[in-house]
Structure 1
Amino acid sequence: MKTVLTVVATLGAMMLSGCAGIGTINRAATPTDLFVLTPKSTFDSGLPRLSQQIVVEEPTATAAVDTDQIAVHPTPLQVEYLPRVRWVDRAPLIVQALLIESFENSGKVAAVGRSTVGLRPDYTIVTDVREFQALLPESEDKDAPLVIHVRLNIKVVDSFRDQIIGSSSFEEEVLAKSDENLDIAQAFDEALGRTMRQSVEWSIRKIYGHAQKNPRPQLR
């Protein structure tokens, strides 16, 4: 009888162990939500038209931002990441691609692209992603939605003279509608869209003004 009880107990332990293993597999198999962001497509119709070629370099960012994970700052000195949710690429690469497309969507730029495509730029856009994270709201309500914070520093470089002709930062904060992943992603999209519109319009005006005062020498 004692032997039978021992066997039953062993089988029971094995079954429980098996269930735990299946649970772990199921959790690992749970798909991660992937999110994309969108370029800006509406701009001031009064923007000047550029004949110059522009290259948008890959933005720089801290290690906390240079990732495909969505960063959250519980406090100014802490960084965490939302579980089971990611961007489709690293944040700086997403910003670079969307800036290029946004310049194109303005309809005011003759040619724009990455440096890797072999363009000989007249001007180069150098971007530093200073902020690209969600913040816990300053509220005692634990269920309060996150605040999305995006800040881009843009430098315009005269590639002919290798000289910075302008530098400015553009910053936006947007309150997520809820703590659902989709609402958080949409708030990121809105905040980034606003900063990109400001960045593109400022860059085009800065390049136009500089080019008017500094025409390129004619090649013979």
Structure 2
Amino acid sequence: MRLPTALLIAATATLPGCGALSALQGEPDRDLFELRAPAALSCPRSRVGELVIEPPKARGTLDSNRIMIRPSVLQTQYLPDAEWGDTVPAMLQRLLVESLGATGSFDHVGRAPLGLSGDVAMISEIRDFNVNLSPDGTLIRLSVEAQLVEEMEARVIARRSFAATVAAASTRTSDLIPAFDAATRQLIGQMTAWTLTTAGVDPDTCRRS
């Protein structure tokens, strides 16, 4: 899909071409970007031993490594010369495993249980992970619906919606990616604190590692 001319020029002006392999395959050159989890927390032990982070669900336009632009509520486009290093769901799952595993509150945090099932699983759905263009400016908008499920009983023990919005200075990729990073660290921080609280750990008792 084509971006508006102004956005296309702004995005491509900041992206050096470096994709020899993609060029050989007939793909456009795209720089790869990864996002970070928030600073690691060291926390007390929880009452949950094993925590499984299921792959987040996402609609087809988000289940991709392309960086989504929303010029309007009915239109989806992508940055032409930049992409994530993994699909959005896989990236979010990795960041949650990293953030929650670093707390030391759980015996195991992973993408799959060590045995037949874990104690608690996080099931989530990504609603927004995109750039929103509006007369008010350029906003990074992320939102996720999440549930914590007791696996043996197949019982939902907590559910919550999470959202983070960060303004980007412009539509240039050099401004969009840091804004995505800031919003993602906010979102993962919110989800980590909620999971700890549900597992019986007061996030205020944690300290920066």
What TM-score, normalized to structure 1?
Answer: 0.73
More strand by share: 2
Quick one: which of 62, 84, 91 aligns to 1:94? 91
What letter matches 2:39 in structure 1? S
The 8 Å contact of residues 117 and 152 in structure 2, kept in 1 or not, is answered as no
Shift of 1:163: 0.6
> Is residue 142 of structure 2 the alignment partner of residue 150 of structure 1?
yes
Equivalent of residue 207 in structure 1, options 188, 199, 203: 199
The answer to whether the 8 Å contact 2:49/2:108 transfers is yes
Task: Please show how residues 119-158 of structure 1 align to structure 2 within 5 Å.
Answer: 120-139=117-136, 144=137, 146-158=138-150
Find the aligned partners of 1:159 and 1:80 in 2 and give their Cα distance: 38
What is aligned with 2:64?
A: 67
CA distance in 2, matches of 1:185, 1:109: 31
Per-residue CA deviation, residues 170-217 of structure 1 (Å, 9 max, x unaligned), is 1010011232213211111111111111111111211228xxxxxxxx
| Pairing of 1:18-33 with structure 2 (within 5 A) | 31-33=29-31
For structure 2, the 5+ residue unaligned runs are 1-22, 202-209
Quick one: structure 1 residues 177 and 109, their matched pair in 2 at CA, closer, same or farther if it must change by over 3 Å?
farther
Pair 103,90 (structure 1): closer, same or farther in 2 beyond 3 Å: same
Query: Deviation string for 1:119-141 (max 9, x for gaps)?
Result: 631000111111101000334xx
- SS across alignment from 1:41: coil
Distance 1:129 1:29 in 2: 27
Q: Give the conservation status (yes or no) of the 8 Å contact 1:126–1:155.
A: yes
Deviation sequence 1:78-115 (CA, Å, 0-9, x none):
11111111001110000001100010122322210012
Alignment of 1:166 onto 2:162: no
TM-aligned CA distance change 1:35 to 1:117, over 3 Å: farther
Corresponding residue for residue 49 of structure 1: 45
Give the whole-Å Cα distance in 2 for the aligned partners of 1:205 and 1:29: 45
Change (3 A) 1:116 1:158: closer
SS at match of 1:175: strand
What residue number does 1:192 align with? 184
1:197–1:30 Cα change, 3 Å: same
Q: Which has the larger radius of gyration?
A: 1
* Correspondences of 1:71-90 after superposition (within 5 Å): 71-90=68-87
Count of residues in Structure 1 that have an aligned counterpart in Structure 2: 177
Higher relative contact order (CA closer than 8 Å, sequence separation 6+) = 2
Gaps of 5+ in 1: 1-24, 210-220
User: Does 2:38 match 1:40?
Assistant: yes
- Following the alignment from structure 2 to structure 1, what is the Cα–Cα distance between the partners of residues 194 and 100? 11
Quote the Cα distance in structure 2 between the aligned partners of 1:137 and 1:173.
Answer: 14
